[in-house]
Structure 1
Amino acid sequence: MARFRAAPAGRISLAVLAVSTLLGAPARADETCLSPYMAKITGIEDFVYVWTLGVEGLGDGSDKLVTVDAREASPTFGKPIHAASVGGRHEAHHGGFTDDRRQFWAAGLSDSKIFVFDVATEPARPRLVKVIDDFVEKSGGAAGPHGAYALPGRMLIPSLSNRDGTGRAALVEYANEGHHVATHWLPTDAAPNGARIEAGADGYGYDARVLPRRNAMLTSSFTGLANALRPLGELVKDGEAMKRFGQTMVVWDFHARQPRTVLSVPGVPLEIRWAWGPQHTYAFTSTALTSKLWLVREDAPGAWSARPVAEIGDPSALPLPVDISLSADDRTLFVDTFMDGTTRVFDISDPDAPRQIYEKKIGAQLNMVSQSWDGRRIYYTSSLLANWDKTGDGNEQFLKAYAWTGRELTPRFAIDFTAERLGRPHMMAFGAASLYAR
């Protein structure tokens, strides 16, 4: 059975986690992308929580948090065992646990609502306990909460947009209790907020990740809600709309919440993954429209740069890289591409020269990838955005689980979310059945 190794908020560091892994401490089962401020699961995950978009006419038609049984000895292994509906469709997107792991915050892009689930009382059956519906008002106009990232006693919520849907985004902080604490707007050319700008500052937002030991936070950029919620086939034919996509990443002084450098990263940089090694001061991202891997590195104390280091598939075919997952030993990087439904594995032991070592088609379309800390279990979901998912036979909606041997992926189980009348599975998070430390 999986258990929790609790830690006081703010006491876990990337270096401690990496060193303990190398020295043979109990293997953490958690995804490698989680906040360093969170308590971590030890052993093997018991559940996979799937934040799922509702589909009209399918089940109750509402967004929901679906619990999938990941316990191999269980009679319901590989099956959905619970669904906590939120009522209505809100463009379910990303989310995350609080630092004490007692709650899971799940964001809705379309109406800027945040749904708070109690996952501690009964981990197999999360329960909706709060709906935060003042995000736009309290933040001062940010809109489209993209996810939730644990800080000590707080949740950091990047927005995609502002209330008019056109672009400028913010980082919004809420206390774990659910009240607004602070808003930090991303720099623009007109309002750089003290940041040094390499080529331009577009103000778009997407992901946010922290490297505490370097007092560094990194953010990436996507597009405003007006584009994100528009049908993809229509969007790509609108030349003016296609100009309104992110081309930057921002390095912040984390403690001061002060933007320091706006890096030029053309092509829409999305997910950010910091390396875990105690001497590693770099991160990877992928660019959706140019299909490249980028390396962001600290070249000297406080001096950061970004450069492309590899191509992902055939960029001319627009495979659309979406999610990435970095192994805990900083040696391999999984990269998903939406349009061809393929996952690729890169050897990134030399971060300056990634080398593809494996690829596998997972489905007709592919979005998120979640990797266990020991690197042995990999999970995939299919849905990107309601209006961007494929139609017809290409609209496969699944959660698929694989074992990774270091050389190949072998199937463990698969769930057809359409056949189960659950909806469109988007992001995943791991859960445990054991009692939480109080």
Structure 2
Amino acid sequence: MAIDDHATDDHATRRRSMATWKPDPSFYPSPRLAAKAPRETLAYVATFDPERKTPDKIAVVDVDPASSSYTKIVGEVSMPDIGDELHHFGWNACSSCLCPNAPHPHMERRYLVVPGLRSSRIHILDTKPDPKQPVIVKTIEPEELAEKTGYTRPHTVHCGPGGIYITALGNAEGKAPGGVLMLDQQSFDPLGRWEVDRGPQRLAYDGWWHLGYDTMVTSEWGTPDTFEDGLVPELLLGAKYGRKLHFWDFTKRKHLQEIDFGDEYQLVFELRPAHDPTKAYGFVNCVISLKDLSSSIWTWYRDKDKWAVKKIIDIPAEPADADKLPPLLKGFGAVPPLVSDIDLSMDDRFLYVSCWGTGDMLQYDVSDPFAPKLTGKVRLGGIVSRATHAGAANGALNGGPQMVEVSRDGRRVYFTNSLYGAVDAQFYPEGIDGWMVKLDAAPDGGLAVDRDFFIDWPKGHRPHQIRLQGGDCSSDSYCYP
């Protein structure tokens, strides 16, 4: 048989090309190795105009202390439209690309997937040509998203095995059921609805998984009409917001189990599964108790052949002078902690808890996930306390710890102070002046404010979600312990 020399040359070229392929250096097979990653030098921050008069932006913050522009906004990209309300965004690819069940080892952590919670528009930003000046390379319009997936109000982005997963709070009409949609990791085309059998699930909020146990977990908020103009007191007091966790067969995309926290507990929000894939537990926050305005942290865990939950932390409301409270709270005479975000360190040891109402950032040692120990506390802002920062020029701060992100080595904790435009106004009616800060975390517990890191956010916009270049403690999932 004759051999085609040209074909042989092509084959040799492909082999040489394949020999030079390497996984993205920011991908790590295990959280242990990820914790040894190089220090982050840039942070990407979603920033929005609460009055919806100017475009929202992704800002780029220099977080390299060796840089002359440390703590400065060194780049930004504006969205082409107005009124997106940029919220929770994420990377196109992460360490889950190394998982054996759906390997994509030659993907790049290159693109930011940026949903507009109010507009239902999704922007894809390329960070590779110039990490300080991302560029928009694709826009998914709300009509296309609704037609192809049946969903609107995209909320949380996670890169995972075989695709990009996005939780959405509304169906095509902006009602129930909300759920999970998927984008192709390379073309970013909407693929469709993730669920095959959703069972009783109707409300949506966050979604994440236990890859080692082939389990997806989702939480609940409400339908868009119940939060886009702010929390509705009648619905809140009537226990009509989300209060359930849902557990799914990840491969079969089938609902397996629902856990109802009960009428008292409203707004079951952020999911933080253990990073170690051999551990079958995670943490979720409940924003408010209708009984006493407290917030709580719960552990979900595997109990024989079922999933179960246990409340592990109660954070009480603080008595306050009614004159210092917003109208929504005057009748209660107390400041609720309003735990609105949590984050778990890469080694699964420390849980960070944002108390947006009181102004506290709390650190718990959760080495034993059923017996947490308070190891650190810092107060900045708060509805009543207005605790200040050494770097703040204006003294008293409003807003409070909200979106929190932890570096991969667990030594730096970044957070911003805005929750959601319409909800901000209910608890801080004078308006929120945006800021971003950093705390230093000691290896064995303890928090200290970095006095040199305070960003007084440019007026007219408020900062929200933070993503660290190269990954952080809520961006990746791992298949190896």
Interval of TM-score (by shorter of Structure 1 and Structure 2): 0.7 to 0.9
CA distance in 1, matches of 2:463, 2:377: 22
CA-to-partner distance for each residue in 1:158-201, whole Å, 9 max, x for gaps?
01122343332111011021212230359xxxxxx475xxxxx4
Contact 2:220/2:268 (<8 A) preserved: yes
- For 1:86, the equivalent position in structure 2 comes to 79
| Deviation at residue 408 of structure 1 after TM alignment | 2.1
Q: What is the CA RMSD across the aligned residues, in angstroms?
A: 2.6
CA distance in 2, matches of 1:212, 1:220: 17
CA distance in 1, matches of 2:62, 2:24: 29
| Deviation at residue 392 of structure 1 after TM alignment | 5.5
Contact 1:345/1:357 (<8 A) preserved: yes
Contact 1:264/1:306 (<8 A) preserved: no
Q: 2:410 aligns with which of 343, 358, 375?
A: 375
Aligned-partner residue type, residue 284 of structure 1:
F
CA distance in 2, matches of 1:207, 1:217: 11
Classify the secondary structure of the residue corresponding to 1:351. coil
Contact 1:246/1:269 (<8 A) preserved: yes
CA distance in 1, matches of 2:56, 2:415: 19
Query: Which structure: larger Rg?
Result: 2
CA distance in 1, matches of 2:239, 2:172: 20
**TM-score between the two structures when normalised by the length of structure 2:** 0.75
- For 1:213, the equivalent position in structure 2 comes to 212
Contact 2:146/2:172 (<8 A) preserved: yes
How many residues matched? 387
Unmatched tracts of structure 1, length 5 or more: 29-41, 187-192, 196-200, 434-438
- For 1:282, the equivalent position in structure 2 comes to 281
Give matches, 1:424-435, under 5 Å: 424-431=462-469
CA distance in 2, matches of 1:331, 1:308: 18
Matched, 1:408 2:447: yes
Unmatched tracts of structure 2, length 5 or more: 1-20, 94-107, 290-294, 319-333, 382-397, 472-481
- For 2:424, the equivalent position in structure 1 comes to 389
CA distance in 1, matches of 2:272, 2:421: 25
Q: 2:245 aligns with which of 242, 249, 253?
A: 249
Classify the secondary structure of the residue corresponding to 2:176. coil
Contact 2:211/2:277 (<8 A) preserved: no
Contact 2:34/2:408 (<8 A) preserved: no
CA distance in 2, matches of 1:385, 1:371: 21
Q: Which has the higher contact order (CA 8 A, sep 6+)?
A: 1
Q: 1:109 aligns with which of 105, 117, 138?
A: 117
CA distance in 1, matches of 2:281, 2:72: 38
- For 1:398, the equivalent position in structure 2 comes to 435
Aligned-partner residue type, residue 174 of structure 2:
G
- For 1:131, the equivalent position in structure 2 comes to 139
| Deviation at residue 46 of structure 1 after TM alignment | 1.2
Give matches, 1:226-237, under 5 Å: 226-232=225-231, 235-236=232-233
Contact 2:216/2:249 (<8 A) preserved: yes
Give matches, 1:217-366, under 5 Å: 217-232=216-231, 235-236=232-233, 238-239=234-235, 243-265=239-261, 266-290=265-289, 291-300=295-304, 302-314=305-317, 317-363=335-381, 364-365=398-399, 366=401
**Structure 2 CA distance for partners of 1:289 and 1:71, relative to 1, 3 Å:** same
CA distance in 2, matches of 1:308, 1:340: 21
Classify the secondary structure of the residue corresponding to 1:269. strand
| Deviation at residue 314 of structure 1 after TM alignment | 2.8
CA-to-partner distance for each residue in 1:38-90, whole Å, 9 max, x for gaps?
xxxx3111100001112449xx8211000001111111100001110003121
| Deviation at residue 260 of structure 1 after TM alignment | 0.8
Contact 2:439/2:447 (<8 A) preserved: no
| Deviation at residue 336 of structure 1 after TM alignment | 0.3
Give matches, 1:120-199, under 5 Å: 120-133=128-141, 134-140=144-150, 142-176=151-185, 177-185=187-195, 193=197, 195=199
CA distance in 2, matches of 1:194, 1:159: 14
Aligned-partner residue type, residue 397 of structure 1:
G
**TM-score between the two structures when normalised by the length of structure 1:** 0.82
CA-to-partner distance for each residue in 1:9-29, whole Å, 9 max, x for gaps?
9x96xxx413xx2xxx4744x
